[in-house]
Copies of this chain bind each other. A is one copy, B any other.
């Protein structure tokens, strides 16, 4: 997606060999028009898949997921992240490790909001090791739902998440794929 590539080139900051900072338009400050265009692109890619629900994870996935849900005319559910692993009877839960923050989060979704028969599109901002995506997929499977696919804004294809998800049989649609960072430059795949 060229618009997103341009934004990454002009505003993204390569912090080291694996971290790209995009907090000026994606995960702290948000560019609403870019969110809308990304939502429309995800909706276009999954328009024939009878999506009934979108699942994302707080906080950075919400804006894109809601824009996608607006076009596909389906509700969005955002999974909650908690430090503690207080599980209840009312929620599906999965443990997700964040390499960036070096911590485990317990990710939960109320059982009232995904149910057997749902065709779920998972959306997240980044794909690196695949931890969040596998956690969300785990929750969808616990609920007995079908996973239509996984929509990712920025995939770092030099990290193993994309291959692991494909290997597990999931369809992954990434708006941009980054092959490497070199000399503070982004090389797209």
Residues on A facing B (Cβ under 8 Å): 23-25, 28-33, 35-36, 58-59, 62-63, 65-67, 69-70, 73-78, 80, 83, 109-110, 112-113
Given the known A-B contacts A62-B62, A62-B63, A66-B66, are A113 and B73 also in contact in the complex, defined by CB atoms under 8 Å? no
Q: Which residues of B contact A63 (CB under 8 A)?
A: 62-63, 66, 76
Q: Which residues of B contact A112 (CB under 8 A)?
A: 24, 29
- Within the complex, the shortest CB–CB distance from A155 to chain B, in Å, comes to 22
- Within the complex, the shortest CB–CB distance from A96 to chain B, in Å, comes to 15
Besides A30-B69, A31-B75, A35-B66, 17 more A-B contacts (Cβ < 8 Å) are A24-B113, A28-B77, A28-B80, A28-B110, A29-B77, A29-B110, A29-B112, A30-B66, A30-B76, A32-B66, A32-B74, A35-B70, A58-B58, A59-B59, A59-B80, A62-B62, A83-B83
